[in-house]
A and B are shown apart, each in its own frame.
Chain A
Amino acid sequence: MSSSPRRVHLAAHFPGVNNNTIWSDPRSESHIAVDSFIHMAQTAERGLMDFLFLAEGLRLREMNGKIYDLDVMGRPDTLTVLSAVAGATERIGLAGTLTATFHEPYELARQFATLDHLSGGRAAWNVVTSPDAFTGENFRRGGYLPYPQRYERAEDFIDAARTLWESWPASAQDADDTAGAYEHRSEFFDISGRFDVPRSPQVHPVIFQAGDSDSGREFAAGSADVIFTRHSELEDGKAFYKDTKSRLAKYGRAEDDLRIYPGVSYVLGDTDADAAGRAREQAYAQHSGATAIATLERVWNTDLSSFDPDGPLPDFDPVLDGPEVSQGRVKHVKDPVATAQRWREIAQAENLSIRDLVVRESPRFAFVGSADTVARKMNQYIQERAADGFILIPTVVPGGLDEFVDTVIPRLQEMGVYPDSYPSDDPALRATMELNEYRPATEWSQARADVRAAATNGQEA
């Protein structure tokens, strides 16, 4: 007997500070106006999606010692704008990225508890780690956290936040003078007192994490409900899915307790050929000549402004010993010399200019095709366990989601893998995502302690 098909989950990324977002498109509107956020959230809600997702970056990016000026830049504070969106929507989840490195547990816990209350339980926190001294220059403490400790602090941070979220009795009606009393003394924090926000509808907001290293994946298995990942190709996605889900059992967790949502770009068209043509146009719109040069500079780690984007690639190797020319972004190229060599070979073999090469080598759109093609392909990912859901990354703000909702979602519904209404009357994000209720802080930390103790015993044996 074959089991019923897994359902497709969808969510929306308000695109931000990178060249995926095409600001030169005539339909592109403000990236900062609250109405743009509300528009996209309401479209996502119309499409019965799980949540609207916002990233965070606490310093403007730089290139060659100057502010990087080619991409959309400037965005509102995550929790402030999500609170505003909560006031203009009813069902959509509100997922905000905040770094565990430069925020503090007491303040962050009350901010998420506030959002959860004001939204009727729709809050989610994407826990990222940004241990760079570059960002630290905007903060009192500067860059203070050694890179290997980024997840130690993040884990401790989540434990502290969960302790605060649980510090009130189940019903605030039963609160007395001791409500909110808590204490969290650990390697990274020494805090105590009374938390001032009663338990929120979800008690714990849904916890996401986005790191990709081995320790990042382990952190997800031991502490998070959702992973936001870049693994958006089918085979790669399956491998990532298998790897992360295989880490769960030892923490007493089932496959469905940790959800995998790749961030995916897409281009739709009336036909597959039409979509392919649009994808090519959009890829060039994402990579102006200036952006192509900047992309090369991040690999070569040197100023290449004298190069012509319509001309050939540099014939020298990347600079390895100099300071980083690019500051404030997650690094994706692990071996620059090999990458540069490969790029030169491709460019020579196919007679490509710098701009052509950069377009060819940049991450492709994950899904390109007619609504029908995209719906089928997305469904394939879900059934074959390359993902549990997708975070859609449109290229145009704020209308870039509209066409998807109007054309792809009806196809998914016809296929029987997408619902016709939200699954629950409860607007809580845990209900919308069909996730378990919150798991108490002590259970999380005990499970991790057991896993670590077992690993140590295993080594000694």
Chain B
Amino acid sequence: MSTPSFVIAARITPRPGIDRVDPAKYFSGAAVRQAALDAETAGAAFVLLDDDLDTAPAAGPAAGRLSALQTAAWLGPQTSSIAVVPTLRTTHTEPFLMGTESASLDWATHGRAGVLFAPSLGADAAANVGRRATPSADPAWAETADVIDVVRRLWDSWEADAEIRDQATGRFVDRSKLHYVDFSGTDSASEEFTVKGPSIVPRPTQGHLPVFVEHAPDAPLEALRGAVEQADVVLLPAESVGPEAVKVLDWNPSACVLAVIDADADALDPEIVARWVQVGVSGVVLETGPYDVELAVRAAAGVVPELVGTDESPDEQSTLRARLGLPPAENRYANA
């Protein structure tokens, strides 16, 4: 397998206090689609679409947002090479549904999708959903690790070749290739939760979608350890990426570590990037907001041309796993 080039991606969600969105364009999806197409033109690997179940942060007159997962699915048929990575919040949404929605997103994008898992730590998210109390960071992140675990099991619960269409016996599937997950985990209120399975969605196109977790300011990195161990991609803030990358790669040596950096800052210079690469950082996520995405991605690529390589137009069939250099996903239940 060839080493993938330095990853450049864009976070296209409006930045609170910076981007002012025009509601007429924003809520029709038009601005997000344009941002994704601009990122695609500039050669970005994926776009991040943030989401939460709390009150939306103010961005212009409309402090609103759309479901990121559905926006990502909607972008699928309207884009050709860029991948989409929406956030799913693990605290209030049913784990079973996170499994089916994410698998379906992979089908909807022909394998050009990942998913970023994070807890909802706010009281307003708890009040909106009304099922569970506001959690604190440690148990909420521990639950996130359990949710990632059960979602991965749900993806595995159909083996890739379960559909047989065997006319002789009249069977559409070989049920020995479908698996109950019988998962038991601990939620953010220290109570047990269970999921029976199998999924109702066949194994995703990529087997497993790349699983992202991000270290945000609302919790210490240590709280994320279980989730980091389950993740494929770990996003770290640029300011502390050096020391944090060392820890993350100690916990999970095969993680793809990306630095998250404000696209407006001039911080991305070749020397800094060279130092990041030395500690194992594989790329950057530019916080661009929905506007001027193409310019920002091209500017970043210009800083590190020798790392980015010349592959301007990736294979349209290429999955996000392939673009991130992740190995094929194994199935824990196959040949078991």
Q: Which residues of A pack against B, CB within 8 Å? A: 23-24, 32-34, 38, 57-60, 66-67, 69-77, 79-81, 83-88, 102, 104, 106-107, 110-111, 113-115, 117-118, 120, 137-140, 168, 171-173, 175, 177, 179-180, 189-198, 200, 288-291
Contacts and interface: CB of A to CB of B under 8 A. Distances in A.
Contacts of A189: 130
Interface in B65-92: 65-67, 69-71, 73-78, 92
Contacts of A81: 73, 104, 107-108
A32 B107 contact: yes
A384 to B, nearest CB: 39
A75 to B, nearest CB: 7
B187 interface: yes
Nearest to A79: B70
A75 B129 CA distance: 26
A106 B53 contact: yes
B165 A83 contact: no
A84 B107 CA distance: 10
Nearest to B78: A87
A111 B94 CA distance: 14
B325 interface: no
Interface string B1-44: 00000000000000000000001100111000000000000000
B127 A192 contact: yes
A379 to B, nearest CB: 35
B170 A289 contact: yes
Contact of A33 (B74, B93, B107): B107
Given A80-B105, A191-B127, A175 B23 contact: yes
A86 B107 CA distance: 15
Contact of A32 (B96, B105, B167, B201): B201
Contacts of A76: 100, 103-104, 107-108, 201
A114 B97 CA distance: 17
Given A110-B67, A137-B194, A117 B29 contact: yes
Interface stretch (B54-62, B243-251, B270-278, B294-302): B54-62
A140 B90 CA distance: 13
Given A75-B201, A138-B195, A179-B63, A198 B75 contact: no
A58 B55 contact: no
A180 B64 contact: yes
Given A106-B128, A139-B96, A198 B70 contact: no
B196 A137 contact: yes
Interface of B: 23-24, 27-29, 53-56, 61-67, 69-71, 73-78, 92-97, 100-101, 103-105, 107-110, 124, 127-131, 158, 162-163, 165, 167, 169-175, 178, 187, 193-198, 200-202
Complex A-B, nearest 9 residue pairs according to Cβ-Cβ distance, in ascending order? A172-B23, A290-B170, A288-B170, A84-B108, A76-B104, A80-B104, A137-B196, A191-B130, A83-B70
A198 B64 contact: yes
A291 B202 CA distance: 22
A277 to B, nearest CB: 21
Given A32-B202, A118-B28, A118-B66, A67 B178 contact: yes
B105 A198 contact: no
Contact of B200 (A59, A86, A171): A59
B138 to A, nearest CB: 20
B170 A72 contact: no
Contacts of A73: 172-173
B88 to A, nearest CB: 11
Nearest to B181: A138
A71 B67 CA distance: 32
A71 B77 CA distance: 28
B148 to A, nearest CB: 16
B108 to A, nearest CB: 4
